[in-house]
Amino acid sequence: MPQRDPAVNLYSADFLAGTVLLTPDERGHYITLLCIQHQQGHLLYEDMAKICGGTIPPKVLKKFAQDDDGLFYNKRLEYEINKRGKFHDSRVDNLAGGKNKPIPPTLEELTAYCVEIKCQTEPNTIFNHYQTIGWRYGKGTGKIVRDWKAAVRMWEENEQKKNKKQVISYDELMARFNAGEKDIWHKFDQITVPGKKKPMWKEK
């Protein structure tokens, strides 16, 4: 995985204005989730619930959008991460006289590496994605891909995370329903989990 930037801009006045109606616990959960998004990328709902002690407060959940893969992220944080990444890349290129731009792989090189690390994703899918957006992260709006092998590994990790089926409690199901996810009943089936007195709900 490419090295994460250790910092991101935090505008204190904006943060305070956006969290003034949150309780101290909700504010603590929110800032923790932001930090994890910054370091690990978009989040699984079940991981967010664990951080919040089992159930995500509705006011906190509303501050996160869902991407095309069903993972959660904060739009403002995403914007700040990408803005800082572009600024960093421009400074690096300027210092190198414009000669520091990485050379992306050929399809053959990427395919060979996918075979080496036993990718589950078709190499063409990864190659065409990055080729289309100019070999940048964040759907073409983030930092330049300087280590394409790390980008391939990160793609695989994200695919494994995305394909992991969620198992949640009835309380978590209702919290998501009350937060606006009205079609959630069609996404989960009720199951019995050994050791659990109450039934659980598993993603279809």
User: Rounded distance, CA 144 to CA 141, Å?
Assistant: 9
How large is the average pLDDT for residues 171-181? 84
Tokens 């009350």 identify what position?
178
How large is the average pLDDT for residues 70-75? 90
User: For residue 109, what are the contacts with CB-CB under 8 A and spacing of at least 6?
Assistant: none
For position 140, what pLDDT does the model report?
61
pTM exceeding the 0.75 threshold for the entire prediction: no
Give the pLDDT band of residue 107 (cuts 50, 70, 90).
very high
Q: Please, are residues 135 and 102 in contact by the beta-carbon 8 Å criterion? A: yes
Query: Six-digit token pair at 67?
Result: 């991407």
Higher per-residue pLDDT: 128 or 188: 128
Instruction: Look at residue 167 and give its three-state secondary structure.
Output: strand
Could you tell me what percent of the chain has a pLDDT over 90? Answer: 36
Q: Please, are residues 65 and 73 in contact by the beta-carbon 8 Å criterion? A: yes
Q: What is the pLDDT of residues 146-164, one digit of tens each?
A: 889 999 998 888 877 766 6
For position 1, what pLDDT does the model report?
42
User: For residue 180, what are the contacts with CB-CB under 8 A and spacing of at least 6?
Assistant: 62
Higher per-residue pLDDT: 131 or 96: 131
For position 20, what pLDDT does the model report?
94
